[in-house]
Structure 1
Amino acid sequence: MNSVWATTQPAVYVAMKHIFPRGPDQRRLLRASAIKPPHGTFSRMPSTRGPWPGCAAEVAQRIMEAVFGAMAQPLPDRLFGAPAGTSGNLALGGHDPEAERDYIMYFFSGGGYGAGLTGTA
């Protein structure tokens, strides 16, 4: 799995808002975060190669975990245990001949986060 810039940047922002919920607005937080992944790496694949499966959920979660891990040592009082592991996305679609209509179903099974130093996140 890889990520495009349009997924990497918001994933870092969401992670930082988890760490600093009362922090600056998005513009200031993104400027202060200085996200600079090299082109062609896991977190900044070229978007011209088509869609990246799982990029909007699974990969974004892994990027957020990397931010949490990077911030855990300098800010142990603000961080928490690892999240659920995988986000489990499932999408199904087809045609119901009895109802004579198309259908689509999307299921997302997210998980919680672990406790922090004080027993809560």
Structure 2
Amino acid sequence: MEMSAEDFEQLVTDQLDLLPDDMVDGLDNVVFVVEEEPEDGSDLFGVYDGVAQTERGQYGFGELPDRIVVFRKQHLLECDTLEDLEDEVHTTLVHEIGHFYGIDDERLHELGWA
């Protein structure tokens, strides 16, 4: 599948807007970023770069924001239709937001978000 970087970013924004308020309202000091692919060449769809809410101690003022990164290339390689792409981006966002809340990969798999 092909899609411009700008259109992919808009799709990510649209999918983020569709998430339930109770999932995103608690996201404090988090930015969402779209990058082409991971620097290490892995085939990740996304990554949470930060300190999970369950592991924070003296976290707050002056801290750089946590980042949720969505990788464009892997999504486009794996998806054949716009509907597939929307579903995969949605799953990636939920998965990485889950990491923000301290949910590990095993539990995310159990819940169907990995």
Give TM-score scaled by structure 1 length. Answer: 0.34
Which structure shows the bigger proportion of residues in helix conformation?
A: 2
Q: Which has the higher contact order (CA 8 A, sep 6+)?
A: 2
Give the structure with higher Rg (CA): 1
